[in-house]
Structure 1
Amino acid sequence: MNKYRKSAVAGMFYPDSCNDIKHYIAHFDKEMPALKLDVRPRALIVPHAGYIYSGYTANLAYHYTASKRPDIERVVVLGPSHRIYIAGASIALFEAYHTPCGEIKIDLEYSHALQKKFAFLDFHPMAHEEHSTEVQMPFIRHYFKHASVVEIVYGDITHGELSTLVDTLLLDEKTLVVISTDLSHFYTEEEANKLDTLCINAISHLDLHALSHGCEACGLTGVKAMVQSALSHHLKAHFLDYRTSFARTGDDSRVVGYTSFVLG
């Protein structure tokens, strides 16, 4: 088996050049507003589209978290499988994660321990050619240079099951949990704004019931798992940004929605 989780979507969802990635992040940082927050982030909810569409929204969460949490030692990324069917979830049992800006160490010992603890965790190498998790890695490499990562791609699993895993992750204060999701897909801008507002309000109020009634998101299972765990761990959700692909394309007929939150 290959020892490395090779980049599968570099050059498509984000640049395959480290200099170009740094240029994107510098541009996003320059456009950042002054965030009136004072929270110690334990988890993030961030989008996973191409950087030209959702990179700004994701970067807000990473930039803010890095400014508050220089002590982060491990980042665990959970994203939905878009390519293949998975019963349960797959955890990456590679040694390192390749990015255009260098390798990130995978915490293999911790990954094996999680696999042993949770029956729904297996390792399907093909599942890790997944963009929902991969697009987060250049941000992690940039903002948390000394942190290791764990990649979990989930499929056919309940949010309750996934929440038991998130609960375990949150026991370690120096672990950052990243939940990857986009919001509604391919509605008009007006329709998307209505649907996405339901999701954003539900997350803001940690309202599991509301998330199940009208919210559309490809990573909804992960979001619901995070909300359930946030309630158990007395975390609050802090909204950062919302936009759709319309902001980039100018086409309001078929848009995709993106949001970011920090939880702490």
Structure 2
Amino acid sequence: MTIRKAAVAGQFYPGSAEEIKAMLSHFNKVLEEHVQRPELLQTKTRAVIVPHAGYIYSGFTANVAHRLLGNSGVKRVAVIGPSHRVYLAGTSVSDYDLYETPLGDIPVDRVLAQELMGKFALGFVPEAHHEHSTEVQMPFIKTYLPEARVVELVYGDESPGNLAPVIEWLLKDPDTGVVISTDLSHYYDIEKAKALDSICLDAVSKLDPRELQRGCEACGKIGVEAMLIAAKNLGLEPVLLDYRTSADASGDTSQVVGYMSAAFV
């Protein structure tokens, strides 16, 4: 039995189940106290965009989306994120049996993984899967969809036009959810960051992939563009959930990273 061992537990997110549960409980308490539209928390969605920084910076933003994804009750989740560590041509599908998290192992949907490989000619590049952009999503999935299986897709030098049909095919199954992982701009001052990030936010809110090319600097822009294409083709509507920067946690406005979450309904 092959296990995708947790690579960034204790770094990007807590290494113990108790700490993760406490952190997510805190996020939900703050969310429930400050949400402007309480009915939003009842939203059911099977497709979300989430950030992937350390939980102290972007965990609140990601948690909102994962909580809504949990409302859907899907049986499997495809987590799609960019490769940060290794060069990768195309997209790799994880072909493990289990995905390790501090909250317990998550079974990998091997049947779905094999279907993706066969239908879309995707491979399995093991070294590409020591990837934080996808791993940080797994404790959220284990929390909000404890019975779900997962499939991890990591892309590198890929075309949104190639990835969009994969997302569409996944979402045509009512028991499947999709998580698109991305952060926004990196290491600009707060004013510049917000200006660049507003381009990304506008593109998502308008379902306009072309808008992304006007200055959006999301590290997972390929996945976001593919999601927008798929959402348009499937008749889904975007809902922006949260936007903030690392300055909200650190107080440092000189070099910030931007984070957003969105749902498609």
Q: Which of the five TM-score ranges fits, normalised by the shorter chain?
A: over 0.9
Q: Distance in 2 between matches of 1:259 and 1:81?
A: 19
Q: Distance in 2 between matches of 1:211 and 1:228?
A: 12
1:62 aligned to which of 35, 56, 66: 66
Q: Which residue number corresponds to residue 40 of structure 1?
A: 44
Aligned-residue CA RMSD in angstroms?
Answer: 1.0
Q: Which residue number corresponds to residue 17 of structure 1?
A: 16
2:115 aligned to which of 82, 104, 113: 113
Q: Distance in 2 between matches of 1:251 and 1:29?
A: 25
1:80 aligned to which of 79, 82, 88: 82
**AA aligned opposite 1:84:** V
SS at match of 2:214: coil
- Cα displacement (A) at 1:39: 4.2
Q: Which residue number corresponds to residue 2 of structure 2?
A: 3
Is the deviation greater in 94-103 or in 206-215? 206-215
**AA aligned opposite 2:66:** Y
Q: Distance in 2 between matches of 1:173 and 1:65?
A: 13
What do the CA deviations read for 1:97-117 (whole angstroms, capped 9, x no partner)? 000010000000110111011
**AA aligned opposite 1:41:** T
What do the CA deviations read for 1:49-94 (whole angstroms, capped 9, x no partner)? 000000000001111232x31x310010000000001110111000
The structure in which a higher percent of residues are helix is 2
Q: Percent identity?
A: 51
Task: Tell me the matched-pair count.
Answer: 260
Is the deviation greater in 108-117 or in 26-35? 26-35
Matches within 5 A, 1:187-226: 187-226=188-227
Q: Which residue number corresponds to residue 179 of structure 1?
A: 180
Can you give the 5+ residue segments of structure 2 that lack an aligned partner in the other structure? none
Are 2:245 and 1:241 equivalent residues in the alignment? no
Q: Distance in 2 between matches of 1:118 and 1:207?
A: 25
SS at match of 1:190: helix
Q: Which residue number corresponds to residue 106 of structure 2?
A: 104
Structure 1 length-normalised TM: 0.96
* Structure 1: 4+ residue segments shifted above 2 A: 33-40
- Cα displacement (A) at 1:40: 3.0
**AA aligned opposite 2:224:** V
**AA aligned opposite 2:215:** G
Q: Which residue number corresponds to residue 157 of structure 1?
A: 158
SS at match of 2:77: strand
